[in-house]
Each structure stands twice: as structure tokens, then as C-alpha cells.
Amino acid sequence: MSKSGTYDWISKVRPTPAWFILLAVVLYLAIVSELSIGLFSFRGKTICYLSAGILIWIVGWFRSRSVKSRTQRFSTILLVVLCSWVTLCLFAQEQISNIPDSVLLYMPWILVMGLLWSSIGNLRCRDLGLLPSKILPALYWTLSIWIIVQLCVVIVHGVNFSVVGIWHDEPSKPIEYFFFAQLFGNSLIEELMFRAFLIVQLLLLFQRWKGWAKRKSLIIAIIVASFIFAIMHVFGDYNSGEPLLKVALDNIPRFILGAIFAGIFLLSNNLLIAVGIHALVNLQIKYSSPFYDSDTSWAGAIITLLPLVILTIMAIRRRRIVLASKNLTSE
């Protein structure tokens, strides 16, 4: 896992034009704003997802009808999955009652964005950092960080702690229920959109348009993607009745958090590690003392900063080894 490895992967990613990047951002923000404002019922949302998916597939089919690419065939599979998912949501609600609500809403969202990326953007799974070889390292990192947080809580509070967290409002549901909702819900779609897609495509765009160096293009891409990531949360916060100024100030930490997730993704060259860490931050799955609310901020800091620090140290050490080997070779 190294930054050079990330650059090697990015160099093989298919670039998309500026209009497509803008289209993806607009579609994403439109879905976010609708979910935050709640213009449609659950049935209305699912129908909108299906309509958007079919429209995207049709446009993609006409764009690529001269060449039946693998991505177009993959988008057809995504459309079939989307149709099946919407059918379940509309006509088999009792059978899916145990599935978290966030998964029911985010899964078709992920499928619609997947259709856009594959059908119109002609992007492959590996262009979005989705590779089977990344799964085990991501599980290792996520589990290790979670265990370290538990040990820190035990050290701070001793053995007098209890299980608390977001699930304490629904004690009948297991921890895995909520973590599953995060992994296959907003953590996955946000990392796909803002880290795997937006940062990489903006980097490639800046290099094509401006002729900037990789490092400068990457820094600007991270700043822009993190800003949009923070802006995306404004819809939900403002809809809750908070003053606009307070909403803006509250989203400054989200901008920083977006940059941290970007660092974890780029230094590890593994999007799924960023997804796992993001899920831990959102859910705060931990054993804690009765003073859980006061523990949330420092636990979140450990979850995000610890992997970033470890990955940075590993990258620096690897760079020194490479430089040392080059010096020995030259001598």
C-alpha cells in the first residue's frame, strides 16, 4: 500500500469529460436534497430511482450502440438488479421489513449512480477502486481500529462500561444490523462518489486541462471534493431548522473529515478501508462508559486519525527504503 501504487492505479483509470463529472455531482446532490427534504413517499422515491435508472440505461445504450462494451453489459445487470430491488420494496414489504431503512433507500441510490458511471461514463469497477483483493485488507484495518478504540475506552474508564451507541434507541436489533446499514448504505456511496470518483476524475481533469503536476492536481482535487462533501450535508442540517450560519460552521469539521478519508484512501490505495473507517465514524460502534456523549468526539478522532497516522508512517518508511535502494544501486 503506497502513494506510488495509488498513482499507478489512477494512471490506468478511464478519464471522463468535465460535463459528466458535473452531471454525476448534480444527480448525487439532487438525490441528497430529496432525501433530506422528503418531497416523495417511500413508494415515490423507489419509482423515481427506477425511472432514473431506466433513463440512464437508455441514454447509455444509444451512446454505445455501435460498440457493445463490457460496461454496457454490466449496466444492464445493474438495471435488472435495480428493477428487482424496487419490485421487492413495492410489493414485498413484509419480507424486507428486517432490512435497515437506510439500505432500502441507499441501495437503489448506489445502483442508479452505478448505472450512470458504467453506462454513460463507461467506467469499470476497478476504475472506482472496487476490487476483490481489497476486501480482506479492509476487514483487517476496520476490525483492528475498532479493537484499538475499545481498548482505549477500557483504559480510560476501566471495566465499568456498558454497550451504547446509535442502536440504543432500538435495543432489539443487533449491532451488526446497524453496521451492515453503514457498510452498504451511506458510507459506501459517499466514499464511491467523493473519493473514488470525484477526487480521481478531478485529478485527471486538472492534468488534462491545466497541465498541472500530479501533486498539485491531487491537492486541488481533494479540496474541491471535500468541499462538495461538506456542502452535501447542508441540505439535511438546514432542513432540521438550524440557522444557516450554524449549519455552515458545523460543516467545517465535515470538510476536514472528507480530507482525512481522502488521505486514508490514497495512502492505503484501498477504497474499502476508507468505507470501513467511515462506517465506524458514523456509527461509533464501541463499548463505552455511561458518559458516551462526551466520548464521541475523541473516539471519532482515534478512528479517523490513527489509520491516517499509521499509513503516513508506512508511506514515509517505504519511501526511505526506496531512496536508500536507489542510492545503493547508483553507488
What is the SS3 assignment for the chain?
CCHHHHHHHHHCCCCCCHHHHHHHHHHHHHHHHHHHHCCCCHHHHHHHHHHHHHHHHHHHHHHCCCCCCHHHHHHHHHHHHHHHHHHHHHHCCCCCCCCCHHHHHHHHHHHHHHHHHHHHCCCCHHHHCCCHHHHHHHHHHHHHHHHHHHHHHHHHHCCCCEEECHHHHCCCCCHHHHHHHHHCCHHHHHHHHHHHHHHHHHHHHHHHHCCCCHHHHHHHHHHHHHHHHHHHCHHHHHHCCCCHHHHHHHCHHHHHHHHHHHHHHHHHCCHHHHHHHHHHHHHCCEEECCCHHHHHHHHHHHHHHHHHHHHHHHHHHHHHHHHHHHHHHHC
Distance of alpha carbon 134 from alpha carbon 183, whole angstroms: 15
The percent of residues above 70 in pLDDT, for the chain, comes to 75
What's the burial of 330, exposed, middle or buried (CB within 10 Å: 0-12/13-18/19+)?
A: exposed
* Nearest one of 79, 35, 39 to 190, comparing CA atoms: 35
Quote the mean pLDDT of the chain: 80
pLDDT of residue 241: 64
Q: How confident is the model at residue 309 (pLDDT cuts 50, 70, 90)?
A: confident
**In this structure, are residues 112 and 82 in contact, taking their beta carbons and an 8 Å threshold?**
yes
Give yes or no for residue 317 having a pLDDT over 60: yes
Give yes or no for residue 291 having a pLDDT over 50: no
pLDDT digits (tens, 9 = 90+) for 174-231: 555 666 777 778 889 999 999 999 999 999 999 998 888 888 999 999 999 999 999 8
Q: How confident is the model at residue 167 (pLDDT cuts 50, 70, 90)?
A: very low
What b/e sequence results for 197-224 when a residue is b if at least 16 CB atoms lie within 10 Å of its CB, and e otherwise? Answer: bbbbbbbbbbbeeeebeeeebbebbbbe
Give yes or no for residue 287 having a pLDDT over 70: no
Q: How many CA atoms lie within 13 A of 196 on its CB side?
A: 26
pLDDT digits (tens, 9 = 90+) for 50-92: 999 999 999 988 877 655 577 888 899 999 999 998 888 888 7
Give yes or no for residue 313 having a pLDDT over 90: no
Comparing 97-101, 235-239, 279-283, which segment has the lowest mean pLDDT?
235-239
pLDDT of residue 308: 82
Give yes or no for residue 163 having a pLDDT over 60: no
Decide which of 308 and 319 is more confident: 308
The percent of residues above 90 in pLDDT, for the chain, comes to 37
Helix (H) or strand (E) holding 70: helix 70-91
Q: Which of 4-8, 107-111, 189-193, 235-239 has the highest mean pLDDT?
A: 189-193
> Cα Rg for the chain, rounded, in angstroms?
21
Query: Which runs of E-coded beta strand occur in the chain?
Result: 162-164, 286-288
For residue 120, report the phi and psi dihedrals to the nearest 5 degrees: -95, -40
pLDDT of residue 160: 58
Give yes or no for residue 265 having a pLDDT over 90: yes
Give yes or no for residue 297 having a pLDDT over 50: yes
Q: Given the C-alpha cell 454513460, which residue does it identify?
A: 120
Give yes or no for residue 293 having a pLDDT over 50: no
* Nearest one of 133, 121, 135, 141 to 197, comparing CA atoms: 121
Record the pTM.
0.85
pLDDT of residue 162: 53
pLDDT, mean of residues 241-254: 75
Give yes or no for residue 273 having a pLDDT over 70: yes
163 beta partners: 287
Compute CA distances 269 → 49, 134, 274, whole Å: 31, 9, 10
Q: How far apart are the first and last CA of the chain?
A: 28
pLDDT of residue 198: 97
pLDDT of residue 182: 75
pLDDT digits (tens, 9 = 90+) for 84-136: 988 888 887 676 667 766 777 788 889 999 999 999 999 999 999 999 999 99
